[in-house]
Structure 1
Amino acid sequence: MDRRQISQLAHADHPIAAPLADDTVRRLLDRAVGTDAERVLDLGCGRAEWLQWLLALNPRVRAEGVDTDAGALALGRSGAEDLAVADRLALHEADAAAFTSPHPFDVVLSVGAAHAFGGLLPTLAAAREHLAPGGRVLIGDGFWEREPDTAALDGLGAAADEYDDLATTVDRVVADGWTPVYGHVSTLQEWDEYEWCWTGSLAQWALDHPDDPGSATAYRAAADHRAGWLNGYRHTLGFVTLVLRVSP
């Protein structure tokens, strides 16, 4: 069982792959899309959950998503069919960092996918390439709530310089030529819901499929993730989602 299969199972009960509650997702989409956006792109879309939500809420919008995970994209297409929005959704199996399009987009999303670009600022650089004049970017990434100790870094498999604190993170975004017009910092409740769903969904699948060749791997992954979270990065890793416009 590879990392992608584990991720799909772990997100069964929390399809939005970020520590964000449903009402938060709706609010962020509303702020990003507004009343005028018609064309939206998600770089690193996974199962295209953000786009499915968006299309269901906004019948005027057409959307495209890019990801390298064919299995996740197949789930996205199936979900779009179930919601009757598949005619307004195009999903591309491609490297999001190298993706090109013949037209610009009113909104570009990339939430929790900065690793695919090499960090937050490279993600924003990629988003800028696709953005129409006056458009908005919806981006989400981690930051340090407090100085990470060894347990937090070990639990995440991260380095101390992988993130900055919140103020420094926003300052870097602004210095890169962006103006935040809205933002949300994930609450502890949102984080706990996300992590309990991640570890619980995976563990439950392993318990329900004891004869599957991947069962032991899934069970161990759930246990290791839970330990890394509870004994390591809980209260240390934060997550911020920003709605941005290009600065004058």
Structure 2
Amino acid sequence: MERQAIGRIAHRDHPVAAPLSDESVRRLLEHQLRRRPDGRVLDLGCGEAAWLVRALNMYPDLHAIGVDANPDALEDGRRTAERAGVARRIGLHHTDVRDFRTKEPFDSVLSVGATYAFGGLLPTLEAVRPLLAPGGTLLLGESYWDGQPPDHAREFFGDDLTDLAGVLTTLRTADWWPIAGHTSTREELDTYEWSWTGALTDWALDQPPGPDRDQALDAATRHRDQWLNEYRAAFGFVTLLLRPGD
């Protein structure tokens, strides 16, 4: 199985592809979109467009664009938008987020858990700035170390991951200013991981014996072991509402 297919299955039972509860997602979207409830919102790395469909359900005058490199996830997003009755107000584009361009800037941009697609936090901030209209906001979700991780956890996530203070330092260096934020709770973090591994395991056990079943069970087991033994005690996730400086 391809990694993208495993990820789609693993996220099927969770509100969004990030460690946030339904209530946290609603509150963050409300805080961002109440500034321009009739504006245009862009999600870079939208996956199955879960954030955008929720936003469009909340604000009937809002219009949305989603960008992702996974065509299967985008197709799932189109079906979800149709079922929700918001398909006419959303456009989903299959392209690398680094290649997306627009002639008309957006009032709101989201990039939650997708900085890896840009090559890190700083490249993400640089890419978003020209896409925002004056007074626009970015809802950014980023991982960080909440404590001292073991060396093998650093190897798993790479050397770029820093602590929460380091994330804020990077933002300040790039002239971005947080106006609201949410640090995911232990319950949100654990619920996300149980959902990820559980959905993948559940799907695999419904499959006939074969490579797909074996690969999915192996991926769920390895992910759960890494979570519990390597990074659970030191991993954090923050979602920040940001505005760029002048």
TM-score (norm 2): 0.97
2-side partners of 1:134 and 1:216: how far apart? 50
Please name the residue that 1:196 is paired with: 194
- Post-superposition shift, 1:152? 2.4
Following superposition, the deviation at residue 15 of structure 1 comes to 4.2
Amino acid across the alignment from 2:221: A
Percentage of pairs with the same residue:
49
Q: Which residue does the alignment assign to 2:36?
A: 36
CA offsets, 1:139-181, max 9 Å, x none? 0011110122134235xx223x221110121121022111100
**CA distance in structure 2 between the partners assigned to 1:185 and 1:208 by the alignment:** 35
Equivalent residue runs for 1:35-74 within 5 Å: 35-37=35-37, 38-74=39-75
Change (3 A) 1:212 1:129: farther
Which runs of 5 or more residues in structure 2 are unaligned? none
Q: Which stretch has the larger CA shift, 231-240 or 67-76?
A: 231-240
**Residues in 1 aligned to 2:210 and 2:9: alpha-carbon distance in whole angstroms:** 13
Match of 1:10 in 2: 10
- Unmatched segments (≥5 aa) in structure 1: none
The match for 1:237 is 235
SS in 1 for 2:60: coil
Aligned CA-pair RMSD: 1.1
Aligned-partner SS, 1:92: strand
Name the CA distance, whole Å, in 1 between partners of 2:213 and 2:228.
Answer: 23
Alignment-mate amino acid for residue 100 of structure 1: R
Are 1:139 and 1:243, in contact at CA under 8 Å, matched by a contact in 2?
A: yes
Task: Detail structure 1 runs of 4+ shifted over 3 Å in the superposition.
Answer: none
Equivalent residues of 2:65, 2:92 under 8 A apart: yes
- Tell me the TM-score normalized by structure 1: 0.96
- 1:221 Cα shift? 0.1
Q: Does structure 1 retain, via aligned residues, the 8 Å contact 2:41–2:64?
A: yes
Distance between the aligned counterparts of 2:192 and 2:2, measured in 1?
Answer: 21
Matched-pair contact (CA < 8 Å) for 2:15–2:21: no
The count of aligned residue pairs is: 245
* Distance apart, 1:29 and its partner CA: 0.5
